Amino acid sequence: MKTIVYLHGYASSSQSGTAKYLAKKMKECNVIAPDIPIDPVEALPFIKNYCAQNHADLIIGTSMGGMYAMQLTDYPRICVNPALHMSRLSDVLMVGTFERFQPTADGMTLFTITEEVIQHFQEMEQHMFDDINSENQSLCWGFFADGDTLVNCKEEFAQHFTQVADFHGEHRMNNAVIRDVIIPAAKRILLE
């Protein structure tokens, strides 16, 4: 059985509706999702370890999770509306304590952003394409919503990757987009 790791977006959790819907509609795969640490200094090493330990065959990430997925060059990955510049989203990434869209697996509902966390995002963003090369760029697919008014990094993504596609929708995917766009792409990739 193939393993798909789903990486959630900012303020979300492993209990996201997307993770649950993917698991429900892709019963032939083991769909798993971690709760990503909020600080990228912790998050990227955590995700790399999680994917290695769980023998990921495919990584699907949305928004912030898409940005992390893009950097996991050892794996086939689908990046949906990747938020390549979290630190520039000043109306989203700001200092304070905030409520998650849904609790984490261990019931945590709040998370805190500090100036240090924002600085860590800035530092990571300066190096996020460092490990991309001709060998691993073919393992990455970018999907971009035509109605995404929150994050639009398609042009920058396309400077590094050739497999770029549009879909009709908004920044946060609905079940129809997952069913009609993301799942068929995931199945094609897993069959290659």
| CB neighbourhood size of 133 (10 A) | 10
Residue 166 structure tokens = 């549009």
Residue keyed to tokens 């945590």: 108
Per-residue pLDDT of the chain in tens (192 residues, 90 and over written 9): 999 999 999 999 999 999 999 999 999 999 999 999 999 999 999 999 999 999 999 999 999 999 999 999 999 999 999 999 998 888 889 999 999 999 999 999 999 999 999 999 999 999 999 999 988 899 999 999 999 998 989 999 999 999 999 999 999 999 999 999 999 999 999 987
Which are the contacts of 164, defined by CB distance < 8 A and separation ≥ 6?
141, 142, 144, 154, 157, 158
Q: Which H helix or E strand runs over 166?
A: strand 164-167
CA distance 69 to 80: 9
CB atoms within 10 A of CB 47: 24
Question: How do residues 72-120 score in pLDDT, each as one tens digit?
Answer: 999 999 999 999 999 888 888 999 999 999 999 999 999 999 999 999 9
Q: What is the pTM of this model?
A: 0.96
